[in-house]
């Protein structure tokens, strides 16, 4: 178990965190916490929840739902926030939410992540789900909390629970996680989902990864090093069709136009324009799908850009997956999105399970 000393507290970051500490909260901050030993039981529970919800059966959960869950989102979110809140609701928790935390909370007045966390943590929530706009802020939030913090995406950093539902979907759709050929394409420099997903998949035998993006949007060397140290074979290409024809899983992502950052404002605008101009080369339509293997699947964390969308700078963005692909049975992104609810139910149940909760806070209950 690795200890990270922060300004206020010592955090224990290890697989679901805290085996050596019965009193520390079980934060979920980085994908490397989600090893196969941790995620396999979660997946089984998620399958169970999915079946029960489909049949509208009682869920059979034993949780102390006295305290509410806070969801604090500083950036736009549709899937992560709603699926967490629906998951919490299905487990019997009330949720207190702010959807635009950077605008409607005191963060806009210059309050630090630590102070914000110290205050809302003081209201005794069962857990906080936070999406923060700066990389590393999830850790800063957690450092001030006595309850679990779940990272719902921190800047260009990580998005571990998206990766959890992505891996669950691959397992459900393909029936295996070993020996996978995975293609990741789009904005691999600024997107956080691919950074987390690659790290969870790297725990499984024989992962081969093909990364498809323009050089400016290559995946960060920090993640590539982690993957290579685990023996993952990584290929990089700009040839979408060849990559798609090779993969078992094709994981496509949006140009994170709002995150592109150069050394100056002019450089940022120049880089963004250049990337917008190249979008068509990295788009998946029916022609690319015709190259895809029969048993393969196409995933996307969503949102994708709709045709004709013009952003705040007046740039028209090109869709990374065209709607004409949606009826293809290999297009699994909406099934993937639904799985966010069941995997997040399993995760919430696990981190709030009374036998692991901070001493005294979650009284022992029969499991
Ligand atoms: C992603 C995110 O916010 O990182 N969406 C999500 O959580 N499902 C992807 C994105 O914004 O492009």
pLDDT tens for the 367 residues of the chain, in order? 454 544 444 444 444 444 445 556 789 999 988 989 889 989 999 999 999 999 999 998 888 899 999 999 999 899 999 999 999 999 999 999 987 777 777 877 888 989 999 999 999 999 999 999 999 999 999 988 989 999 999 999 999 999 999 999 999 999 999 999 999 999 999 999 999 999 999 999 999 999 999 999 999 999 999 999 999 999 999 999 999 999 999 999 999 999 998 899 999 999 999 999 999 999 999 999 999 999 999 999 999 999 999 999 999 999 999 999 999 999 999 999 999 999 999 999 988 875 544 443 333 333 2
Distance CA 60, CA 58 (A): 6
- Cα 145 from chain centroid? 21
Dihedral of CA 24/27/30/34: which sign?
Answer: positive
Dihedral of CA 80/83/85/87: which sign?
Answer: negative
Distance CA 6, CA 72 (A): 21
Q: Which residue lies with its CA nearest to atom 11 of ligand 1?
A: 303
Q: Which of 303, 317, 336, 337 to mutate to test the pocket of ligand 1 (most atoms within 8 A of CB)?
A: 303
Ligand 1 pocket residue status of 203, Cβ below 6 Å: no
pTM for the model: 0.91
Which two structure tokens, joined as six digits, stand for 114? 């630590």
Q: CB neighbours of 142 closer than 8 A, spacing ≥ 6?
A: 11, 25, 27, 29, 117, 149
Query: Do 149 and 25 meet the contact criterion of CB atoms below 8 Å apart?
Result: yes
Ligand 1 pocket residue status of 27, Cβ below 6 Å: no
How far away, in angstroms, is 176 Cα from ligand 1 center? 25
How far away, in angstroms, is 366 Cα from ligand 1 center? 37
């Amino acid at each position: 178990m690795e200890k990270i000393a922060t300004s206020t507290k010592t955090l224990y970051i290890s697989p679901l965190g805290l085996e050596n500490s019965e009193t520390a909260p079980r934060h979920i901050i980085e994908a490397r916490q989600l090893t196969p030993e941790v995620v396999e039981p979660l997946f089984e529970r998620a399958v169970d929840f999915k079946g029960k919800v489909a049949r509208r059966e009682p869920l059979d959960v034993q949780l102390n739902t006295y305290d509410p869950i806070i969801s604090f989102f500083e950036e736009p979110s549709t899937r992560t926030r709603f699926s967490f809140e629906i998951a919490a609701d299905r487990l019997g928790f009330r949720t207190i939410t702010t959807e635009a935390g950077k605008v409607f909370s005191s963060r806009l007045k210059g309050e630090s992540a630590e102070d914000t966390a110290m205050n809302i943590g003081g209201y005794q929530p069962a857990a906080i789900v936070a999406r923060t706009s700066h990389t590393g802020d999830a850790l800063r939030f957690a450092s001030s909390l006595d309850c679990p913090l779940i990272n719902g995406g921190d800047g260009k950093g990580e998005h571990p629970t998206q990766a959890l539902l992505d891996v669950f979907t691959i397992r459900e759709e393909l029936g295996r996680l070993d020996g996978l050929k995975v293609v990741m394409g789009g904005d691999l420099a600024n997107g956080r989902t691919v950074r987390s997903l690659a790290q969870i998949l790297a725990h499984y035998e024989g992962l081969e990864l093909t990364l498809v993006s323009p050089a400016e949007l290559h995946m960060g060397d920090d993640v590539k090093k982690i993957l290579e140290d685990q023996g993952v074979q990584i290929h990089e290409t700009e040839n979408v069709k060849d990559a798609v024809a090779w993969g078992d899983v094709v994981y496509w992502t949006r140009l994170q136009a709002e995150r592109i950052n150069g050394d100056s404002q002019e450089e940022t605008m120049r880089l963004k324009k250049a990337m917008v101009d190249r979008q068509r080369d990295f788009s998946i339509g029916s022609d690319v799908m015709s190259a895809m293997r029969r048993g393969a699947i196409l995933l996307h964390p969503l949102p994708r850009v709709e045709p004709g969308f013009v952003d705040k700078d007046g740039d028209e963005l090109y869709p990374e997956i065209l709607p004409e692909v949606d009826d293809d049975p290999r297009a699994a992104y909406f099934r993937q999105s639904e799985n966010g609810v069941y995997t997040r139910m399993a995760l919430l149940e696990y981190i709030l399970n009374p036998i692991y909760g901070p001493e005294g806070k979650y009284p022992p209950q029969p499991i």
